[in-house]
Amino acid sequence: MSTTGRTDTVNGGISFWYAQDGIAAPREPLPGDATADVCIVGGGYTGLWTAYYLKKAVPFLNITVLEAAFCGYGASGRNGGWLYNGIAGRDRYARRHGHEPAVRLQRAMNESVTEVIDVCAAEGIDADVHRGGVLEVARSPAQSARLRAYHSVELAFGETDRVLLGARDTADRIRVAGAVASTWTPHGARVHPVKLVKGLAAAVEALGVTVHESTPVTEIRPKHAVTPYGTVRAPYVLRCTEGFTAGIKGQRRAWLPMNSSMIATEPLAPEFWESTGWSGRETLGDMAHAYVYAQRTADDRIAIGGRGVPYRYGSRTDNDGRTQPATIAALHEILLQFFPQAARARIDHAWSGVLGVPRDWCATVTLDRATGLGWAGGYVGSGVTTANLAARTLRDLIQQDSGQGGPTELTSLPWVGHKVRKWEPEPLRWLGVQALYAAYRGADRREAAARSAETDRVAKLADRVSGRH
């Protein structure tokens, strides 16, 4: 760990969530060659939920999880704790497969929020869950126009319980400076990411799944997961490495590792919470192109995040969560724009993590029946809930493939088996992402200054060129 700018801000150390809750005792690395029925690579939410549901469905299955560092080292131990119903790519799936299949996908996501909460309760995982819904605010005319359009689209995908709020009703929920409108959905909860991932790893182990940590997989081939300590042979090998996928042999241009960074304040005084009215503990976001996401933690801090330096040359991932001082300053500035009364609040911690972005920005879950290789991810920053849906889908796909089940509602969802082209080679990849986020930041600045309800033209162009919409 080290300090930046302000000497009292911890930078890195994986995340604030670990500083608060500690890292679990290390698990043994793979001791040598081994066999399994299913080998899962990556011990984040995707890998652990998959192990959980497979073992619950077929208790005699021999399942091995191989984790390069420790369970929850990646985004699952660093995220904003928005357990919500957003899934990357839904609108594109609607265009490709039709509206009704995409509505089913959305419904499955809504149900997944409840599913995670229910399993936490059933397994005794105390992850500071609070179901206060999601509030997304608009702070400029252009954001407001986008918010209304977004709200209508969500209604059309079956979210009839979502509400659109004007300035006064928004302030009744949370007084965000400059907020002119908002949309609120009940399909979201605040969680403590690390308590969730640690609880899940413990639950999986208690079921009899073998978990090896400090065991990086260097190569995945059909029926083989190769590590420096030995090879696990298994009919099914599942890649659950999300933002780290580019580090595996042959996967360099699959999913782009995009950074997201966060800061957490010190615990804020009751007067602060009274002045903001943020008593419902909704997760809070905005409609900027380079959007932010925030939560009120169980111990009354604000944890707020957004994209800083979005991407490192050559798909490099991070350095145990350290982030750039400029990113910390930018997030701090946004915090103060939202809540000027937090001006004197200390920033206790700053950190970053990587998420996986496919070339078409669509999350996917796949089992290749010819090879037994499976994967899930490309969640583009909406993975806390999506990983749970992906895991239950991988379970069903494996049961179907091994003759223990037939097609299910989950295996028929439009994101199953989706194929996407690779990212461009460097330096195009780096240049493209730098230009994209420079365009978004510029668009946000221009929209904030303008009185027009039009979305900035450069942002629209950036969306089209990047494949984001």
Ligand X SMILES: Cc1cc2nc3c(=O)[nH]c(=O)nc-3n(C[C@H](O)[C@H](O)[C@H](O)COP(=O)(O)OP(=O)(O)OC[C@H]3O[C@@H](n4cnc5c(N)ncnc54)[C@H](O)[C@@H]3O)c2cc1C
Residue 176 or 262 having the CB closest to ligand X: 262
Is residue 74 near ligand X by the rule CB under 6 A?
yes
Rounded distance between C-alpha atoms, residue 317 and residue 348, angstroms = 23
Least gap, CB of 410 to ligand X (angstroms): 17
Question: Contact 69/214 with Cβ under 8 angstroms?
Answer: yes
Is residue 361 near ligand X by the rule CB under 6 A?
no
φ/ψ region of 164 (left if φ > 0, alpha if ψ in -120 to 50, else beta) reads beta
Rounded distance between C-alpha atoms, residue 384 and residue 416, angstroms = 18
What part of residues 265-304 is at the interface with ligand X (CB under 6 A)? 293
Least gap, CB of 406 to ligand X (angstroms): 27
# residues near ligand X by CB under 6 A: 44
The token pair at 254 is 């699959």
Residue 75 or 138 having the CB closest to ligand X: 75
Is residue 128 near ligand X by the rule CB under 6 A?
no
Least gap, CB of 403 to ligand X (angstroms): 28
Rounded distance between C-alpha atoms, residue 12 and residue 408, angstroms = 42
Question: Contact 192/17 with Cβ under 8 angstroms?
Answer: yes
Residue of 10, 36, 54, 66 interacting with ligand X (CB under 6 A): 66
What part of residues 163-192 is at the interface with ligand X (CB under 6 A)? none
Least gap, CB of 142 to ligand X (angstroms): 24
Is residue 75 near ligand X by the rule CB under 6 A?
yes
Residue of 89, 188, 305, 374 interacting with ligand X (CB under 6 A): 305
Binding-residue pattern over the window 204 to 223 for ligand X, x denoting contact by CB under 6 A: ------------xx------
Nearest alpha-carbon partner for 272 in 337, 344, 334:
344
Q: For 461, list phi and psi in degrees, rounded to 5.
A: -65, -45
Is residue 315 near ligand X by the rule CB under 6 A?
no
Question: Contact 29/229 with Cβ under 8 angstroms?
Answer: yes
By CB under 6 A, which span of 18-26, 199-207, 296-304, 373-381 interacts with ligand X? 373-381
Least gap, CB of 306 to ligand X (angstroms): 9
Residue 187 or 429 having the CB closest to ligand X: 187
Nearest alpha-carbon partner for 195 in 53, 72, 296:
72
Is residue 306 near ligand X by the rule CB under 6 A?
no
By CB under 6 A, which span of 38-46, 134-142, 228-236, 328-336 interacts with ligand X? 38-46
Strand-pairing partners, residue 266, are none
Residue of 51, 127, 248, 268 interacting with ligand X (CB under 6 A): 248
Decide: residue 256, CB within 10 A, 0-12 exposed, 13-18 middle, 19+ buried.
buried
Least gap, CB of 239 to ligand X (angstroms): 9
Residue 391 or 410 having the CB closest to ligand X: 391
Is residue 244 near ligand X by the rule CB under 6 A?
yes
Is residue 374 near ligand X by the rule CB under 6 A?
no
* Distances 279 to 139, 174, 189, 297, 352 between C-alpha atoms, Å: 21, 8, 14, 11, 27
Residue of 387, 391, 397, 459 interacting with ligand X (CB under 6 A): 387
By CB under 6 A, which span of 4-12, 52-60, 240-248, 407-415 interacts with ligand X? 240-248
What part of residues 318-357 is at the interface with ligand X (CB under 6 A)? 353-355
Sheet with 63-66: strands ordered across: 210-212, 63-66, 38-41, 236-239, 373-377, 364-368
- Nearest residue to ligand X by CB is 383
Q: Catalog residues that contact ligand X under the rule CB under 6 A.
A: 41-47, 66-69, 73-76, 78-82, 216-217, 240-244, 247-248, 260, 262, 293, 305, 353-355, 377, 379, 381-385, 387
